[in-house]
């Protein structure tokens, strides 16, 4: 966007945070150049995310003409390039501070209705402002931009953001986004448990920056013993599927917003360890920083004689020159990104930490170890199938042998890069990233550039809370269960045994209550670790000697006084309910099947189902047809493929 130009301050980097209009002229170039960059990046599987500054315009006192010719006058609140005039800024009477600036983070209205460091604050409640912002975002979408960071989201009302986003169209299939893709959104909210505004208020408008993670990680790298407590929900840290994490960002790496207790490229050895740990660890959605060198905290990027931003110089060895740091090209960091892609969707297991070294596995797909002092020699459980693996960090110069017991001797002897990362299918230069893709219908989350024409979507990952209702007015004494999973003909390795079948989906059941009404549900959910086709699981609990016949449902009602009242039941009596956390990686792109099963003089299996296509806002096409219910678990979809701002 067009922004202020400040020659007297040597064109500081933060010029960009004082918008003048939504035209795409800046110190980096013209709208045509931007459109061309995005198009070329999309063509090779690299997506573009824009830092959208929509809370405010320029600071008070800023006057001039910007790169695209738009004039600006902060004191007059006059921005003809949009246009915005005085009535489009937050009325003074809504800001409780005496000088009109944000100065008390304990008061919500102060944070959101006052001027942040004197920046003229847009009145996001106005239809006109919402529309102008949406127009800007829709222009980005048309150009092929995949997502945005919302700058200073903490200083905006979540409802205003939600309204602006509701006006944004789906991403264009002409740029390779699957039909129905939404703009990826992350809200910049600096929450260190120190004010009235908290990250959870923004869960409905996208992901949220988790600044506590920067601090926790810095403390952990200084003292490995603290790494175990990296994610501290007790401290208010964001939900796993909403946390946007990073070691450092453009602000806190130079002492601006959210600074203090942050590791940066200025201490390369610690920085590599911090980024390695972040990328190995499953929490959140990770961002890798890429910087330029600076000595003064206001200093702008490397520049040409006219102060326009200079091109990045790529040296013969692949590193950067010309003042650019390019952390993303550092060996450890680039390799660990491959590792993260290779183990996506797996949980952290076999955690080991002796205060000087740390190690853990990621499901049965990868294993990571790191030694603070540069060396370690330990035999550890890797969680991996037996075999020979190679350390991708040293480009497979060393091998690691995993025995039939899953254990391996892990040796590290490298002061600068004291890290071992091994993963199933990983070789010297590649990890098994999602298949590359060209053409018009490729997945958004493709991590590597296209090499052939196969298009796939990134596999679903993580766990998702999944609640299933079955409406059935049963007779007294009858019990309802569900059975399900994946069709045996659609997946190899399926056998009539919940414990070993590849068609059974791992679940952990959630409590619905402890009153007598739930006695049966609670008895039968014990040991129910799979949604499967095979009836009672070995080890599953029984009720008064009566065995379970699948995953148990509990009778629920929407009547508040009913013993079976559940707030998620919006419909009436006889809505039988199951509440589980489901392992998304075991679904088919989020889809799975199920059928009800009625016992005690009941009909047993539910009749076959003839199910039409899914309609409604979620949409989606089932991966195959079946005579069972086909369920689309929307929350198993990769974030980039689902609406984050339209829950």
Q: Pull the structure tokens for residue 600.
A: 């005690």
* 3-state per-residue secondary structure call for 554-570: ECCECCCCCCCECCCCC
Spatial CA neighbour of 329 closest among 374, 272, 279: 272
CB of 17 to ligand LM2, least distance (A): 3
**Alpha carbons 169 and 266: distance in angstroms, whole number:** 41
Q: Which is nearer to ligand LM2, 251 or 299 (CB)?
A: 251
Pick what 620 binds: ligand LM2, Ca ion, none; C-beta below 5 to 8 Å, kind-dependent: none
What contacts 77, CB < 8 A, 6 or more positions away? 57, 84, 85, 86, 88, 89, 120
**Alpha carbons 592 and 531: distance in angstroms, whole number:** 10
CB of 121 to ligand LM2, least distance (A): 11
Spatial CA neighbour of 365 closest among 445, 425, 433: 425
Q: Which is nearer to ligand LM2, 18 or 382 (CB)?
A: 18
| Catalytic residue chosen out of the listed positions 2, 121, 188, 528 | 188
Q: Which is nearer to ligand LM2, 117 or 314 (CB)?
A: 117
Pick what 121 binds: Ca ion, ligand LM2, none; C-beta below 5 to 8 Å, kind-dependent: Ca ion
Buried b / exposed e along 23-52 (16+ C-beta atoms within 10 A): bbbbbeeeeeebbebbeebbeebebbbbeb
Q: Which is nearer to Ca ion, 124 or 620 (CB)?
A: 124
Q: Which residues bind ligand LM2 (CB under 6 A)?
A: 14, 17-18, 53, 59, 62, 116-119, 151-152, 188, 251, 256-257
- Please state whether the peptide bond connecting residue 580 to the residue before it is cis, i.e. omega within 30 degrees of 0: no
CB of 95 to Ca ion, least distance (A): 9
CB of 293 to ligand LM2, least distance (A): 18
| Catalytic residue chosen out of the listed positions 151, 299, 479, 532 | 151
Residue 278's H or E segment, with its range, is: helix 268-280
Q: Which of residues 114-133 bind Ca ion (CB under 5 A)?
A: 121
Pick what 206 binds: Ca ion, ligand LM2, none; C-beta below 5 to 8 Å, kind-dependent: none
CB of 97 to ligand LM2, least distance (A): 14
CB of 160 to ligand LM2, least distance (A): 15
Spatial CA neighbour of 12 closest among 390, 309, 324, 448: 309
Q: Which is nearer to ligand LM2, 38 or 189 (CB)?
A: 189
Spatial CA neighbour of 517 closest among 556, 487, 468, 550: 556
Query: Helix, strand, or coil here: 632?
Result: strand
Spatial CA neighbour of 557 closest among 596, 595, 517: 517
Question: At what angle are helices 211-222 and 268-280 packed, to 10 degrees?
Answer: 120
| 593 contacts Ca ion (rule: CB under 5 A) | no
Number of shown-chain residues binding Ca ion (CB under 5 A): 4
The H helix count followed by the E strand count for the chain is 8, 31
**Alpha carbons 85 and 78: distance in angstroms, whole number:** 5
CB of 123 to ligand LM2, least distance (A): 17
Instruction: Report H helices in 292-423.
Output: 331-342
Q: Which is nearer to ligand LM2, 118 or 638 (CB)?
A: 118
Residue 521's H or E segment, with its range, is: helix 519-525
| 155 contacts Ca ion (rule: CB under 5 A) | yes
Q: Which is nearer to ligand LM2, 155 or 530 (CB)?
A: 155
Q: Which of residues 37-76 bind Ca ion (CB under 5 A)?
A: 55
Pick what 18 binds: ligand LM2, Ca ion, none; C-beta below 5 to 8 Å, kind-dependent: ligand LM2
CB of 79 to ligand LM2, least distance (A): 15
Q: Which is nearer to ligand LM2, 54 or 380 (CB)?
A: 54
Q: Which is nearer to Ca ion, 124 or 450 (CB)?
A: 124
> Residue 184's beta-bridge partner residues?
147
**Alpha carbons 12 and 5: distance in angstroms, whole number:** 9
CB of 152 to Ca ion, least distance (A): 7
Which runs of E-coded beta strand occur in 303-432?
Answer: 313-314, 320-321, 348-353, 357-362, 366-371, 375-381, 387-390, 399-402, 407-413, 419-423
**DSSP letter at 474?**
P
Return the residue nearest ligand LM2 (CB atom): 59
Q: Which is nearer to ligand LM2, 243 or 580 (CB)?
A: 243
Pick what 14 binds: ligand LM2, Ca ion, none; C-beta below 5 to 8 Å, kind-dependent: ligand LM2
Looking only at Cα atoms, what is the longest distance across the chain? 86
Q: Pull the structure tokens for residue 607.
A: 């009749």
Spatial CA neighbour of 540 closest among 514, 522, 556, 553: 522
Among 6-14, 153-161, 177-185, 295-303, the segment contacting Ca ion (CB under 5 A): 153-161
**Alpha carbons 213 and 310: distance in angstroms, whole number:** 32
Active site residue 299: no
How many CB atoms within 10 Å of residue 391?
Answer: 24
CB of 279 to ligand LM2, least distance (A): 23
Over the window 404 to 443, marking each residue x when it contacts Ca ion by CB under 5 A and - when it does not, the resulting string is ----------------------------------------
Active site residue 151: yes
| Residues that bind Ca ion in the complex, under the rule CB under 5 A | 55, 112, 121, 155
Hey, which residues are catalytic here? 151, 188
């Amino acid at each position: 966007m067009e922004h202020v130009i400040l020659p007297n301050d040597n064109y500081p980097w933060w010029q960009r945070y004082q918008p003048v209009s939504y035209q795409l002229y800046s110190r980096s170039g013209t709208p045509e150049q931007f459109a061309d960059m995005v198009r070329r990046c999309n063509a090779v599987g690299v997506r573009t995310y824009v830092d959208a500054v929509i809370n405010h315009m320029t600071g008070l006192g800023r006057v001039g003409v910007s790169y695209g010719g738009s004039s600006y006058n902060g004191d007059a609140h006059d921005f003809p390039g949009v246009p915005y005039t005085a009535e489009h800024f937050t009325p003074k009477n809504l800001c409780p501070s005496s000088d009109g600036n944000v100065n008390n983070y304990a008061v919500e209205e102060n944070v959101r209705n006052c001027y942040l460091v004197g920046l003229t604050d847009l009145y996001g409640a106005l239809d006109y402002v919402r529309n102008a912002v949406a127009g800007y975002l829709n222009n980005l979408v048309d150009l092929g931009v995949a997502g945005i960071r919302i700058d200073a989201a903490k200083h905006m009302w979540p409802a205003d953001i939600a309204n602006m986003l509701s006006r944004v169209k789906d991403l264009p299939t002409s740029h390779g986004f699957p039909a129905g893709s939404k703009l990826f959104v992350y809200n910049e909210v600096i929450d260190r448990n120190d004010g009235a505004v908290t990250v959870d208020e923004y869960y409905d408008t996208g992901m949220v920056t988790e600044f506590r993670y920067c601090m926790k990680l810095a403390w952990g790298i200084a003292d490995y013993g603290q790494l175990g407590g990296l994610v501290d929900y007790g401290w208010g840290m964001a939900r796993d599927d909403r946390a946007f994490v990073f070691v450092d960002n453009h602000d806190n790496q130079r002492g601006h917003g959210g600074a203090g207790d942050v590791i940066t490229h200025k201490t390369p050895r610690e920085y590599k360890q911090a980024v390695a740990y972040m990328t190995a660890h499953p929490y959140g959605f990770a961002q890798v920083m890429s910087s330029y060198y600076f000595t003064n905290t206001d200093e702008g990027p490397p520049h040409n004689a006219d102060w326009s931003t200079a091109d990045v110089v790529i040296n013969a060895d692949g590193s950067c020159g010309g003042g650019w740091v390019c952390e993303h090209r550092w060996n450890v960091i680039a390799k660990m990104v491959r590792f993260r892609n290779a183990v996506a969707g797996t949980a952290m297991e076999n955690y080991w930490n002796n205060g000087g070294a740390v190690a853990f596995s990621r499901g049965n797909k990868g294993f990571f170890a790191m030694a603070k002092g540069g060396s370690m020699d330990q035999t550890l459980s890797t969680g991996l199938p037996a075999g020979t693996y190679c350390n991708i960090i040293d480009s497979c110069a060393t091998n690691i042998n995993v025995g039939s017991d899953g254990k391996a001797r892990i040796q590290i002897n490298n002061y600068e890069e004291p890290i071992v990362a091994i993963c199933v299918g990983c070789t010297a230069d590649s990890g098994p990233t999602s298949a590359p893709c060209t053409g018009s219908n490729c997945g958004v989350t493709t991590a590597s550039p296209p090499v052939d024409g196969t298009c796939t979507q990134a596999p679903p990952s993580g766990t998702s809370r999944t609640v299933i209702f079955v409406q059935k007015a049963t007779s007294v004494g009858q019990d309802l269960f569900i059975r399900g999973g994946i069709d045996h003909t659609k997946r190899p390795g399926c056998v009539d045994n919940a414990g070993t079948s590849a068609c059974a989906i791992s679940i952990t059941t959630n409590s619905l209550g402890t009153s007598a009404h739930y006695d049966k549900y609670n008895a039968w959910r014990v040991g129910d670790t799979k949604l499967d086709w095979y009836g009672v699981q070995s080890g599953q609990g029984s009720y008064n000697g009566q065995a379970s016949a699948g995953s148990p449902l509990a009778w629920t009602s929407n009547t508040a006084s009913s013993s079976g009242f559940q707030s998620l039941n919006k419909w009436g009596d006889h809505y039988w309910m199951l509440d589980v956390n489901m392992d998304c990686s075991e679904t088919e792109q989020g889809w799975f099947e199920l059928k009800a099963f009625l016992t005690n003089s009941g009909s047993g299996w539910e009749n076959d189902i003839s199910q039409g296509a899914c309609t409604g806002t979620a949409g989606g096409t089932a991966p195959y047809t079946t005579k069972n219910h086909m369920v689309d678990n929307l929350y198993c979809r990769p974030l980039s493929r689902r609406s984050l701002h339209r829950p």
